[in-house]
């Protein structure tokens, strides 16, 4: 058990934090070699041992900590408080910046859209039509009524990436989540902020501005499990709209590959457009067509067809050539 947890933290340091968060890279490597931290984690349920959850819980209890020795002291002296947060909360990072990699697929859809997000957290990715975008040599400002208050997401786009000229026409939207968070609840908002990595000040500012806009039009997110409860939500969508079902950074939490595959089959057999933005190992049956898996990136797919590698926080999109290279 302990070697398995240590390996997980080393993988996190190498593939997720390296180059993106020196503090979490350092802390994750420290955890992987600290008997104190590993012992603490091994007493928690297996689905509560993730690095992001541990680091956010420590921030919740003790504030910003970047020094391994201080981190160890919190785990030793305030173990019960940290464990309580880790049992009560889950990793629900809501990154609206991911809309910058979704928009090249959403914008070309003609006619009204009924947008459904599974694993929506607080539903901030359900509002792609109110944000602004800056893809480097191509920009799309927020709609007039949100100018000046909606965040503008920067995303470096490779040549060949479709360049949206308008926002998608979303006439109905809904999210599904095991534990919906509420943008109007201070405790939920505080948790969403604690999930943002420490050096990512720009992400934090964008999150805050997305939340402040979303408070005026709170996304409708219902409680449910994507492996069971999606058909009931789809049935609520208006009949005159194209149903688009999407998810980002979610299916990785469905641990059972058979359940993931059953979900993919359900999507492909449905009339909906299915957009998946997940780590490349989540659906190996499709990602093989994108070439060598890139463990530091997500793979963007539409109806099982790989289209682009994307930065996990929506900071980058690298469109695949027609051959998938
Ligand atoms: C990392 S967050 C991503 C949130 C959002 N998609 C985004 O990209 O900002 C993963 C979310 O998936 C939800 N989730 C995990 N497993 C789920 C399941 N089986 N059914 C519904 N939601 C699930 C979690 O509760 C969490 O809110």
Backbone angles phi, psi at 165, to 5 degrees: -105, -15
Residues 83 and 214 in one domain: no
Residues 212 and 270 in one domain: yes
Q: Is residue 163 part of a domain?
A: yes
Ligand 1 centroid, distance to 177 Cα (angstroms): 6
Indicate whether residue 212 lines ligand 1 (CB < 6 A). Answer: no
Q: Is residue 180 part of a domain?
A: yes
Ligand 1 centroid, distance to 202 Cα (angstroms): 22
Tell me the C-alpha distance between 308 and 299, whole Å: 6
Residues 79 and 207 in one domain: no
Residues 77 and 129 in one domain: no
pLDDT at 91 over 80: yes
Ligand 1 centroid, distance to 1 Cα (angstroms): 25
Residues in the chain: 325
Tell me the C-alpha distance between 51 and 24, whole Å: 9
Q: Which tens digits make up the pLDDT trace of 65-87?
A: 999 999 999 999 999 999 999 99
Ligand 1 centroid, distance to 323 Cα (angstroms): 31
Residues 78 and 105 in one domain: no
Mutate to test the pocket of ligand 1, among 115, 119, 194 (most ligand atoms within 8 A of CB): 119
pLDDT at 321 over 90: no
> Which of 88, 121, 136 is the C-terminal boundary of a domain?
88
CATH of residue 174: 3.40.50
Asked whether 325 and 291 are in contact (CB, 8 A), the reply is yes
Count the Cβ atoms, other than its own, within 10 Å of residue 154: 18
Asked whether 207 and 96 are in contact (CB, 8 A), the reply is yes
Q: Which tens digits make up the pLDDT trace of 164-200?
A: 999 999 999 999 999 999 999 999 999 999 999 999 9
> Which of 88, 121, 152 is the C-terminal boundary of a domain?
88
Indicate whether residue 260 lines ligand 1 (CB < 6 A). Answer: no
Indicate whether residue 249 lines ligand 1 (CB < 6 A). Answer: yes
Indicate whether residue 179 lines ligand 1 (CB < 6 A). Answer: yes
Tell me the C-alpha distance between 208 and 48, whole Å: 26
pLDDT of 324 reads 47
Contacts of 89 (CB under 8 A, 6+ apart): 53, 56, 57, 60, 191
Residues 107 and 39 in one domain: no
Q: Which range of residues forms the domain containing residue 278?
A: 96-319
pLDDT at 25 over 70: yes
Q: Is residue 324 part of a domain?
A: no
Which residue's C-alpha comes closest to atom 2 of ligand 1?
92
Mutate to test the pocket of ligand 1, among 125, 126, 253 (most ligand atoms within 8 A of CB): 253
CB contact burial 12-39 (16+ within 10 A = b; e otherwise): bbebbbeebbebbbbbbbbbbebeebbe
Handedness of CA 305, 310, 316, 319 (dihedral sign): negative
Ligand 1 centroid, distance to 175 Cα (angstroms): 10
Indicate whether residue 227 lines ligand 1 (CB < 6 A). Answer: yes
Structure tokens of 176? Answer: 């599904």
Tell me which residue has tokens 């449905």. 270
Residues 233 and 193 in one domain: yes
Average pLDDT, the chain: 96
Ligand 1 centroid, distance to 252 Cα (angstroms): 9
Ligand 1 centroid, distance to 240 Cα (angstroms): 28
Average pLDDT of the residues in 104-121: 98
Tell me which residue has tokens 């900071």. 315
Contacts of 25 (CB under 8 A, 6+ apart): 13, 17, 18
- Work out which ligand 1 atom sits closest to the CA atom of 181: 27
Count of domains for the chain:
2
Which residue's C-alpha comes closest to atom 7 of ligand 1?
94
Q: Is residue 154 part of a domain?
A: yes
Mutate to test the pocket of ligand 1, among 121, 131, 233 (most ligand atoms within 8 A of CB): 121
Residues 305 and 181 in one domain: yes
> Which of 67, 88, 109 is the C-terminal boundary of a domain?
88
Residues 43 and 161 in one domain: no
Indicate whether residue 222 lines ligand 1 (CB < 6 A). Answer: no
Task: Give the confidence band of 322 by pLDDT, cuts at 50, 70, 90.
Answer: low
pLDDT at 325 over 50: no
- Work out which ligand 1 atom sits closest to the CA atom of 277: 8
Indicate whether residue 226 lines ligand 1 (CB < 6 A). Answer: yes
Q: Which tens digits make up the pLDDT trace of 224-277?
A: 999 999 999 999 999 999 999 999 999 999 999 999 999 999 999 999 999 999
Q: Is residue 314 part of a domain?
A: yes
Q: Is residue 325 part of a domain?
A: no
pLDDT at 292 over 90: no
Asked whether 99 and 317 are in contact (CB, 8 A), the reply is no
Indicate whether residue 277 lines ligand 1 (CB < 6 A). Answer: no
Q: Is residue 225 part of a domain?
A: yes
Residues 103 and 231 in one domain: yes
pLDDT of 267 reads 98
SS (H, E, C) the chain: CHHHHHHHHHHHHHHHHCCCCHHHHHHHHHHHHCHHHHHHHHCCCHHHCCHHHHHHHHHHHHCCCCCHHHHHHHHHHCHHHHHHHHHHCCCCCCCHHHHHHHHHHHCCCCCCEEEEEECCCCCHHHCCCCCEEECCCCEECCCHHHCCCCCEEECEECCCCCCCCCCCCEEEEEEEECCCCCCCCHHHHHHHHHCCCCCCHHHHHHHHHHHHHHCCCCCCEEECCCCCCHHHHHCCCCCCCEEEEEEECCHHHCCCHHHHHHHHHHHHHCCCEEEEEECCCCCHHHHHHHCCCCCCCEEEEECCEEEEEECCCCCEEEECCCCCC
Percent of the chain with pLDDT over 90: 95
């Amino acid at each position: 058990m302990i070697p398995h947890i240590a390996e997980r933290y080393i993988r996190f340091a190498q593939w997720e934090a390296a180059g993106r968060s020196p503090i979490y890279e350092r802390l994750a490597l420290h955890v992987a070699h600290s008997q104190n931290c590993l012992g603490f984690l091994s007493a928690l349920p297996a689905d509560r041992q993730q690095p992001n959850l541990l680091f956010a819980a420590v921030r919740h209890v003790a504030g910003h900590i970047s020094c391994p020795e201080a981190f160890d002291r919190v785990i030793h002296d305030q173990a019960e408080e940290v464990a309580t947060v880790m049992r009560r909360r889950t990793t629900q990072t809501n990154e609206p910046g991911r809309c910058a990699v979704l928009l090249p697929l959403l914008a070309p859809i003609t006619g009204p859209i009924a947008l459904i997000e599974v694993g929506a957290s607080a539903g901030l990715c359900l509002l792609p039509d109110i944000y602004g975008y800056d893809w480097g040599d191509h920009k799309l400002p927020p709609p007039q009524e949100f100018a000046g208050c909606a965040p503008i997401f920067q995303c470096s786009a490779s040549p060949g990436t479709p360049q949206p000229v308008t926002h998608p026409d979303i006439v109905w939207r809904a999210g599904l989540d095991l534990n919906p968070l509420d943008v109007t609840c201070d405790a939920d908002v505080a948790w969403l902020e604690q999930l943002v990595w420490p050096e990512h000040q720009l992400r934090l500012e964008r999150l805050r501005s997305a939340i402040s806009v979303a408070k005026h039009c709170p996304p409708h997110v219902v409680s449910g499990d994507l492996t069971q409860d999606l058909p009931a939500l789809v049935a609520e969508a208006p009949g005159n709209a194209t149903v688009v079902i999407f998810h980002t950074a979610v299916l990785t939490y469905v641990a059972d590959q058979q359940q993931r595959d059953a979900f993919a089959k359900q999507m492909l057999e449905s009339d909906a457009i299915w957009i998946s933005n997940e780590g490349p190992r989540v659906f190996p049956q499709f990602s093989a067509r994108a070439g060598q898996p890139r463990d530091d990136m997500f793979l963007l797919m539409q109806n099982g067809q790989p289209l682009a590698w994307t930065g996990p926080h929506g900071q980058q999109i690298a469109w695949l050539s027609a051959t998938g290279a």
